[in-house]
Amino acid sequence: MTLLSSSSMKVGRLTVYFSNVKTALSKTGLPDLDYALNPYAGCSFGCIYCYARLYTSDRRASKKWGEVVVVKSNIVKVLEREVEKLPRGVVGLGTITDGYQTVESIFKLARKSLELLFNREFHVSIQTKSPMVLRDLDILAAKRENVDVGFTITTLKDEIAKLIEPHAPPPLARLRALKSLSKAGVRTWVFYGPIIPGFNDDAETMKNIALLSAETGATLYYDPLRVKPFMLSTDYPLRKEALKARSRWWLARIEAAIKRLCVDYGLECRRGFEATPLT
Ligand code: SF4
């Protein structure tokens, strides 16, 4: 950690800024969620397909996706006031950021937010790629009826994950964390998305992810790549794949294959949600 100024610092390759927010919980149009809570703007995991950059209002983070993270310094204080006033509901923790990204180990905003939300009987739905969520297993297990945790698992192959999610924890670490949570009685789900032609749409990957969901009792969400304009620019590394993902034939093939697996393994399967507006 290196302090750059009173309002920024370096954490490894990341530039970290600090900001103050007026609200912590925002209304969301996402299914099954009443509120979204994003303690950080930007995400150090820097997935190359990430749509969240489109919904991140802090331009420092959205422009240099994966290189800049903004810590919402006062979010816990703001949340403390809001939980007293707002109607109870389901809070999505990490809808346009990963609440358990690298800087969470320093600032612990996700953990402090969870404590406040649980104290006021809100239900929290966490989506992450990070085994750091296990740090909070004590409160998650204690409040298991008020929480569910979803792991995004796009592939179980390291070499593919490194290409599309260059700074995210490896698939095996996510898989182990998912199993630990499930073993501790926390309701879990797997988010298999985005499914990208030629990267993670093969039969072996689908089967392994379905098996993992079955083994952990997790609901399986699947989400074929949603093609956004930035994916069609000539210098976007997955442009060819993005073009293919628009084909109806490909989408129908993916949908049919997953539905078959869900029947075979007796899984509850749901199509992923459109990420607009994420917060
Ligand atoms: S972990 Fe999620 S929020 Fe972070 S870069 Fe990847 S897709 Fe985006």
DSSP state of 232: G
Task: Determine contact, residues 190/212, Cβ cutoff 8 Å.
Answer: yes
pLDDT value, residue 279: 32
Residue 75 is predicted with a pLDDT of 98
What was the pLDDT predicted at 7? 87
Inside any domain, residue 277: no
Q: Please report whether residue 279 resides in a domain.
A: no
Q: What is the pLDDT of residue 276?
A: 39
Amino acid at 175: L
Atom of ligand 1 nearest to the CA of 94: 3
Distance in Å, CA 53 to ligand 1 centroid: 9
Ligand 1 pocket residues where CB is under 6 Å: 43, 45-47, 50, 52, 97-98, 129, 165, 168
Distance CA 43, CA 96 (A): 8
Q: What is the DSSP letter of 171?
A: H
198 located within any domain: yes
Q: Is 34 among the domain residues?
A: yes
Residue with the nearest Cα to atom 3 of ligand 1?
97
Instruction: Determine the pLDDT at residue 275.
Output: 45
C-alpha Rg value of the chain to the nearest Å: 18
**pLDDT tens-digit series, residues 7-16:** 899 999 999 9
In a domain, 278, yes or no: no
Residues of the chain whose pLDDT is less than 50?
275-279
- The CATH number for 215's domain is 3.20.20.70
* Domain extent at residue 41: 2-271
In whole angstroms, give the CA distance from residue 188 to residue 218.
Answer: 5
Question: What's the 29 CA to ligand 1 centre distance in angstroms?
Answer: 19
Cβ 50 vs Cβ 56: under 8 Å: no
Q: Is residue 161 part of a domain?
A: yes
- Other beta carbons within 10 angstroms of residue 128's beta carbon come to 25
pTM of the model: 0.95
pLDDT tens profile 179-201: 999 999 999 999 999 999 999 99
Closest among 172, 150, 154 to 219, alpha carbons compared: 150
Torsion angle of alpha carbons 121, 127, 130, 136, nearest 10°? Answer: 10
**How many domains, in total, are found in the chain?**
1
- The confidence score (pLDDT) of residue 274 equals 52
How remote is the CA of residue 92 from the centroid of ligand 1, in Å?
Answer: 14
Q: What is the largest CA-CA distance in the chain?
A: 57
pLDDT at 1: 75
